[in-house]
Amino acid sequence: MGQPGQPGQVALPSRSFVELDERLVSLGSASGAGSVVVVRASRDLHAALLAHMARRLRTAGAFPAVDSRVETREQAAAAAGAPIFREIATQLGLPRASLLSSEPQTFAEAIAQAASAKHSAIVTSLPKEGSWDRAVANELVRIGRTVVVFVTSSEIPTWDGIATSTIAAFDLAGDLSAADKLR
């Protein structure tokens, strides 16, 4: 596999949509606990899942910092080159000076600190492998001080040096049931 903190691809147990909801509620009400949730679903469900997960976390008492650029396929395509975590940092109220860092580790540390202080959960699509955003995501997972929720249509990654027990994986690649859609 890769360097410590770098992702590999290992099969993790899949869980249901109801279990995802329950996990989000428990994470939203947890105080100061870091956790990683990765949800695999078809691309056309990402916007709805991101919005749903943000609502669940908010209802449970967390402040979700959400990549809001994926409401439609057109918006997602237009935002493809814009850094996800710069938007997240802005939502977390990081000072402008913090936004100037291009070092993923430093940037992730600033986001983790702000998210922890505000009882925030980061909710976003899993960034493209090899991108600056993916490097920041890898660092956030490694730091482990905040709740991070990723949605992907690719394989569910794991990270070297990170216990798989700290990563909750949900494979919702199949269709959601009618009851799931009502949640």
Q: Is residue 1 part of a domain?
A: no
Contact 97, 64 (CB under 8 A): no
> What CATH number is associated with residue 173?
3.40.50
What single-letter amino acid sits at 164? Answer: T
Q: Residue 10's pLDDT band (boundaries 50, 70, 90)?
A: very low
Residue pLDDT, tens place only, 21-79: 888 888 876 655 688 899 998 888 888 889 999 999 998 888 999 887 655 444 554 45
Boundaries of domain holding 49: 7-181
- Residue 2 in any domain: the answer is no
Backbone φ and ψ of 25, nearest 5°: -60, -45
Q: What is the pLDDT of residue 141?
A: 92
Weakest-pLDDT range from 17-26, 107-116, 130-139, 140-149: 17-26
- pLDDT-derived band at 1, boundaries 50, 70, 90: very low
Q: Is residue 92 part of a domain?
A: yes
How high is the pLDDT of residue 35? 86
Q: How many domains does the chain have?
A: 1
The DSSP-derived string for 88-134 is HHHHTT--GGGGG---HHHHHHHHHHHHHHTTEEEEEEPPPTTSHHH
Distance (Å, whole) CA 154 – CA 157? 9
Establish if 43 belongs to a structural domain.
yes
Q: Is the pLDDT of residue 181 over 90?
A: no
Distance (Å, whole) CA 129 – CA 124: 14
Which residue did the predictor score with more confidence, 11 or 145? Answer: 145
Report pTM. Answer: 0.81
